[in-house]
Structure formats: structure tokens, C-alpha cells
Structure 1
């Protein structure tokens, strides 16, 4: 990667991804885009383009002018939000992806878009979920992600577009607060622990889900995109994860730093149903073997980092 265009740059991953890429590749070589202007002070006043990913002509115009060699297509609606408006989710997640792939084909761009553990469903093996396994999701978000994986593989096989992807678990960050995902509790719990010393979880106590700290997620994107293509047996998409956790496990770690922290439950049937359809723990061995994926953050290290960073925001 030398010149990088990012769509959905103000989303869950995009802001931190933009900052890390500018630090690594140079400010002038990374162009973030999104449907609205940035409010984050770290992005204000720097190169930025307004882009609705459903507008392919606008997308091609930006690419033609900026001349990137890589597109990181991050624009998407997350799981719980997508369930509330399936048609809109299809338009953003699938029409946007098709436009991005067509642009990548026409301009010969390396291409990344994230998939998700949401691409799995109730019939997927729950424990040690393999890289290649049955994928029959029961949500619009999951359907979008499976279709997206297949579409990216199609563009690789049919047109030679260098497409790559990972299946992200829940991503945890102190920079960007939650935006409509089923795993949002694992971010909210840290903010509420610092602010109020208590949290009410919408996910049930015994529900294990895969998670990853945002720094590890961003490092995974960069490492995969820098990998020698001859190393990659799989492409769309690699299982990645750092930990399999439930709300009680997070609460117990928080209590090591905030002894009086209390955790209650008010389970949301929609998000709980989505969570129950996903694996408890996935197997990321192929990502480790094929391109050296190796997360640095454990639950303990992540908890300490999150609480310290949130306290410093107050």
C-alpha cells in the first residue's frame, strides 16, 4: 500500500484506522471519505471527501483524482441497526460494496472490506468455529456479509481484483462509542463503569462472544494488506479474534480496578437473539498461519487500557 482511499471513515473503525494509516504512510497518502464532514478534531482541516457509497460516479471521480493504489471499504450498517431497516441496510452494505468493487476493478486497486462473525448462523459450529464452515445467518447484516464475502471472491476469481477480508468479532474502543452493533455492551460497560460505577447489560450473563481491542483490529487490516498475495490460500474472509468473553467476565476484570462496580441485566430480545445465533469462540489459526495474525491485547490488558483512557477523557 502506498496511497489509500477509505470509505466509511467516520464509522466504528474508520477514525482510528485513518489516524494510524496517516502516521504510517503519510498524511497526503491517505484520503478518508464519508457521507458527512468530520467532527473529530484529529480529522478536521485535513484532506477529506464527502462520499455516499451508493453514488458510484462520485466514488470513481474521487479515485480518478486521488489515484490510490488501495481501497479500504469500511462503509456499512451494523447488525442491530440493519435489523431495524433491512432495505436501507441492503442499499448501504451491498449496493455500496458493488460500487466499490467495480471502482477497484476499473482502477486496478487492492481492495479490503471487513466481514464479521455475523456471517455465521445458528447451524454453524459454536466452538472453535473453522475458517471454512456452514454459513447460514438469520439477520440482514449476516446475509450482507456472506454475500459480500462471495462477491469479493467472485471479483478476485473473475476479474483478478486483489480482494482481502477478515471476519471481525466485536471491536472494543475508547475513541468511538457504540454505533448499533450486537457486541456494543462490551464498549458501553467500560464507559458506564467509569461514569456511574454500574451498568445494565442488554446481553445475558452467560452469552460468550468473540471480541478484539481496536488496536489489534487495525493492525490486522494493515498486516493482511501488506501480506504477500502468494501466501494467501483464503481471502474472503479470515477468522480473527483475541478473546471469547461474556458480560460477567468483563465485570470481574473491571472490579479489579473499580471494586464497587455493579452489573445488572435487562436483556434485549432482538440483540440477544442475534448473539445467540453466533459462535461462542472462533478458530483464527488460518490467519495466524497464512499472514502472521497475532493479537496483543488480552481481556486483562484491554480492561486496564480502556478504563485509563476513559478516565483521562473526563
Structure 2
């Protein structure tokens, strides 16, 4: 068996921290190299190798891949939906060029597997709102969504043309108690827990009845690892898989929190993120992921709420 050596790019981010720790548990601390432009996240310190890395510097990235004998790359660096709207050109260039750099190097160095996340942001106002299917109308209206959709086709292209084993998931909104959210439209579902515990109140930037697909971080990590461990012949989607955990509205999550913190109050002040949220599906059909590699979530809204409040 070939010893895998994994590079996680964007390891200090919301997904990166927990995914790096999970990979180190499976492959051993020394076999998973964490990298980021930012400082090493506190939770990663002392758990394995860390390198400061700018994914936009292709030469620097290439040198690291060769020097560290990398066999798998997880590319998590990205500018998310809400942040991306403030600087569309930067979001486009970072989200696209980082992927092209990784795909090129992976092709040249014959990397075994590449992981790159997509997002429900690829869907737009013309996509079906309920149980949005794997193959459907996709017309994103944010630069983040546009970059993710273009990226899906680049992944598919490198797979078809050069046989690169690149895999992807369209993440819904992600909720975690370990790391801070990164400027997405679904961030309210993380902020609300912190505010409930500290202030007993929360001003929500979305309307009370805004349903969005969400997922608890342990499920997102589990899905990512299961996808990456699945035999290549089981992978039928080389753009990006729909996956789903749960769907809820701010009103529903607030009601769930009130069961644990009865004095909690929520108010609503929708801002520019409301328009982004309105353009996305309210629920996702992930039957292809369930069929291909046996995806199944562990957490629903009440189990997640309980776990979040206990851990925070």
C-alpha cells in the first residue's frame, strides 16, 4: 500500500481545521500537512506539520507538493458568498486561480486524489426551490456561485481529459462550534448560538421564514471523508455532488434554542444577504450521493442544537 501524504490548503478556515484533525486521526499526524496564508489555527497547533502557503503562488505550491511528497490535495481556500459580493474581482480570481493551480500541479505530479468543495451557491433563482435535484437549471447570481459552478466544470474537464481523480461536494450552510464562520450567507446559524449564550438575544440578517439547506460540521466532515474513501468506480458525478443534512428557517432554529434558553429573543433586520438567500433552494435532493457512496446524515435540527449549546 502506498503511503498517502496529504496537503490541506486553507487549513485554518471553518472546514479546514476540523477536516485536518479528522484526516490526521485516519492517516497519522505526520502524514497530513496543514497550510494557510493565515496564522496556524490554535486547534491545529502541536497536532502535525504546518506550512505557510499562498495557493496563488503556483511555483511555491509546486515546490511544497514535490518537497513533501504529496499524494492527495484538499483545496479549501475560497472567498465566500457575502464577502465575495464586496470584492467580486478578488473573489473570482482567488476562487478560480487557486483551483487551476492545484489541478495543473496535480496533473503534472500524478497526484492520486484532489478534493475541492463546491456549494449550494451554484444554484440561482431559476433552480427548483424544493428538493433541488442533482441535474437542474443552474444560473447563479453571486460571484461565489459563478466561480463554484465554473470550478465544477474544470474539475470534470481534468477528470475527463487527463483522468485526474478529483472529487467534490456542494456544501449547504455549515454550522460548527469549533471555528468561526467565514463570511457566508448562512453564517446567521452559527452567530445565533453565540449570541443566545452571551446576550440572550439575536438580530438576524435574514427574514424569519427564510428556509435554507444546512449541515452540522461533523456531518460535513463525515461526507467529505466518505466521498474521498469511496472506490473511484462508485463516483458517477465529477462536477460536484448535492448533499443535504437538514433545512430550517431562522424562526425554527430560534424556537429550538428557546427550549434550552427560554429567555432567548430573536429580532429580524434583513440586509443585502436576504437577496442572496432568496436565490438559493430551500431544500436539496441528494439521492445520487446516497446511492453512489452511501451518504447519510447523523444530525437533525434538535440534535445539532443540543450539541452546539453543550459544546459552546
TM-score bin (small chain): over 0.9
Q: For the Cα contact (< 8 Å) 2:17–2:41, is it kept in 1?
A: no
Q: Deviations over 1:161-217 (max 9, x none)?
A: 101101000000001122210000000001111111111100111110000000110
Which of 201, 204, 207 aligns to 1:201? It is 204
> Which residue number in structure 2 is paired with residue 301 of structure 1?
303
Q: What's the CA shift for 1:235?
A: 2.3
Q: What's the CA shift for 1:233?
A: 1.3
**Mapped pair 1:156 → 2:171:** no
Q: Distance in 1 between matches of 2:117 and 2:239?
A: 9
Q: What's the CA shift for 1:37?
A: 2.6
Q: Distance in 1 between matches of 2:240 and 2:54?
A: 25
Q: Which runs of 4+ in 1 moved over 3 A?
A: none
Which of 114, 118, 129 aligns to 1:115? It is 118
> Which residue number in structure 2 is paired with residue 210 of structure 1?
213
Q: CA RMSD in A?
A: 1.1
Q: Distance in 1 between matches of 2:72 and 2:150?
A: 22
Q: Distance in 2 between matches of 1:255 and 1:178?
A: 22
Q: Which moved more, 1:38-47 or 1:86-95?
A: 38-47
> Which residue number in structure 2 is paired with residue 177 of structure 1?
180
Q: What's the CA shift for 1:41?
A: 4.5
> Which residue number in structure 1 is paired with residue 16 of structure 2?
14
Q: Which moved more, 1:30-39 or 1:251-260?
A: 30-39
Which of 236, 241, 246 aligns to 2:244? It is 241
- SS of the aligned residue for 2:33 comes to strand
Q: Deviations over 1:54-101 (max 9, x none)?
A: 111111111001112111110101100001001111121001110011
Q: Distance in 2 between matches of 1:218 and 1:45?
A: 18
Number of aligned positions between the proteins? 309
Q: What's the CA shift for 1:255?
A: 0.8
Q: Which moved more, 1:167-176 or 1:29-38?
A: 29-38
Where structure 2 has 5 or more consecutive residues not aligned to the other structure, the ranges are none
The two structures have a TM-score, normalised by structure 2, of 0.97
Q: Deviations over 1:286-307 (max 9, x none)?
A: 1111001111011011000000
Q: What's the CA shift for 1:14?
A: 0.3
> Which residue number in structure 1 is paired with residue 262 of structure 2?
259
> Which residue number in structure 2 is paired with residue 230 of structure 1?
233
Q: Distance in 2 between matches of 1:41 and 1:166?
A: 24
**Mapped pair 1:219 → 2:232:** no
